[in-house]
Amino acid sequence: EAGVTQFPSHSVIEKGQTVTLRCDPISGHDNLYWYRRVMGKEIKFLLHFVKESKQDESGMPNNRFLAERTGGTYSTLKVQPAELEDSGVYFCASRGIRGQGATGANVLTFGAGSRLTVL
Amino acid sequence: QQQVKQSPQSLIVQKGGISIINCAYENTAFDYFPWYQQFPGKGPALLIAIRPDVSEKKEGRFTISFNKSAKQFSLHIMDSQPGDSATYFCAAGFNAGGTSYGKLTFGQGTILTVHP
């Protein structure tokens, strides 16, 4: 079973530019989460999708961040325009519902992350 | 406001020693406490988790100790090995019918180095 895939692994952009991060969850996982870790800090929740619907977006920093999950499969997180404080590692994670997949309902599986550097 | 405080930030242990990482939480509504292990270039991976109805859970060399009254929990790694060198994150969440398992509050992480 393939894991959670994130692209790109590293992106370097200048302040004011736009970046789009992509996440492909484990096939069949309805629940998809975005998290962010700013250098040396804790990993912080950004938002949660159930299929294509936003279940909880309470962690999104501001309206420069836009997350989508078209068709309930892969998800994108766009930052426009990027600011210096947006630098960090963006993690995507997925979780199945009870009975789905080999990983089970209670395991949050993370991708390797997309490192964003804003200069 | 950080709701889960983790210490130490870094830890160096000799091979065969015991590694201990501590976490304290504030929100008494948390009822799910996982530990994640992250190797360089990889994402965090679930290592072991506990619910507040038990005071200890052991899986191999890894043990979680949980103190509900003190709102603290810790990870003990017995017989630490160089391959255990990684960043460890504690976290806390809600078991609200299973729908909130994925919304976790993490600690800041502990970089563990086990010397041969």
pLDDT digits over B54-77, tens only?
999 999 999 999 999 999 999 999
- Flag whether pLDDT at B97 surpasses 80: no
β-strand partners of A45: A35
pLDDT along chain A (119 residues), means of 10: 91 97 93 93 94 93 94 94 96 74 63 97
Mutate to test the interface with B, among A42, A95, A107, A114 (most CBs of B within 10 A): A42
User: The domain containing residue B28 runs over which residues?
Assistant: 4-96+103-115
- Flag whether pLDDT at B51 surpasses 90: no
Q: Can you give the three-state secondary structure of B34-63, one letter per residue?
A: EEEEECCCCCCEEEEEECCCCCEEEECCEE
Give the model confidence (pLDDT) of B14-37 as tens digits.
999 999 999 999 999 898 899 999
Q: Is A56 on the interface with B (CB under 8 A)?
A: yes
Q: Where are the alpha helices (DSSP H) in A12-114?
A: none
Closest Cα in chain B to A32: B102
CA nearest to A107, candidates A33, A42, A53: A33
Taken in order of first residue, the domains within chain A and their CATH numbers are 5-112 (2.60.40.10)
Residues of A in contact with B4 (CB under 8 A): 42
Residue B5 DSSP code: E
Tokens of A16: 């004011």
Are residues B32 and B90 in contact, defined by beta-carbon separation less than 8 angstroms?
no
Of A43, A56, A108, the CB nearest to B46: A108
Burial of A91 (0-12, 13-18, 19+ CB in 10 A): buried
Question: Residue A104's pLDDT is what?
Answer: 45
Length of chain B: 116
Of B6, B41, B89, the CB nearest to A112: B41
Residues of B in contact with A97 (CB under 8 A): 98
Question: Residue A102's pLDDT is what?
Answer: 39
Q: Find the CATH number of the domain harbouring B11.
A: 2.60.40.10
Instruction: Provide the chain B residues 73-112 that lie in CB contact (below 8 A) with chain A.
Output: 89, 91, 98-99, 101-109
Number of domains in chain B: 1
Q: Which residues of A20-43 are buried (b: 16+ CB within 10 A; e: fewer)?
A: ebebbbbeebbbbbbbbbeeeebb
Q: Is A102 on the interface with B (CB under 8 A)?
A: no
